[in-house]
Amino acid sequence: MLKQKFRPRLLLAGTFTLIAALVAWDLLSDQGAGVDMLHLVIETLVLVIAAGSGLGLLLRDLQQRRKLSELASQIHHARSDSAQWRSRYQETINGLSKGIQSQFIEWQLSAAESDVALLILKGLSLGEIATLRDTSERTVRDQARAVYRKSGMANRASLSAFFLEDLLLPIENERN
């Protein structure tokens, strides 16, 4: 999928390279034929522009591929770290998930509202939630408003704080 995004740029770079090669060949044949100097200068400029454009596009493509490779590596490491953390705290995570779902039931959230609330808690934007749920952003916004209304929360920060506040208590000193 990512390769398809680069194809037009590579095709354009190849086109510029072909133009540069053809102009260079024409320049070589024109030189021996006694062609006017202005004509040679113009063709040389076309050669430089075409070669520079092709090279610039190739370098930009390589730079973008390098950035994507670095990003893929970072995502891989983050997923690995996350998997280790999840396996270490699976029991706690399961308990928290059950507690969150129980609270959603107590607030009488619909299934769609519960999904939206959970994705809000995970930090996704309304646009990202709409994409994931294959619905419009307006629908997600309305569902989020219903979540806030039914829960008595003002916004996503207060919704998150409701569930996280007790989890983030300071650890008591054991100096007794």
3-state secondary structure 47-64: HHHHHHHHHHHHHHHHHH
Mean pLDDT computed over 115-130: 94
Task: Tell me the average pLDDT of the chain.
Answer: 86
Mean pLDDT computed over 129-136: 92
CA distance 152 to 18: 65
Q: Is residue 170 part of a domain?
A: no
User: What's the gap between Cα 98 and its chain centre?
Assistant: 30
Looking at the structure, do residues 81 and 97 belong to the same domain, yes or no? no
Looking at the structure, do residues 13 and 30 belong to the same domain, yes or no? yes
Residues 6+ apart with CB under 8 A from 55: 13
Domain endpoint, select from 43, 69, 88: 88
Q: What's residue 169's pLDDT?
A: 66
Q: Which of 105-109, 131-135, 169-173 has the highest mean pLDDT?
A: 105-109
The residue length of the chain stands at: 176
Q: Is residue 175 part of a domain?
A: no
Looking at the structure, do residues 70 and 109 belong to the same domain, yes or no? no
Mean pLDDT computed over 1-10: 58
C-alpha separations of 12 from 26, 55, 56, 61, 62 in Å: 21, 10, 11, 11, 14
Range of the domain at 43: 2-88
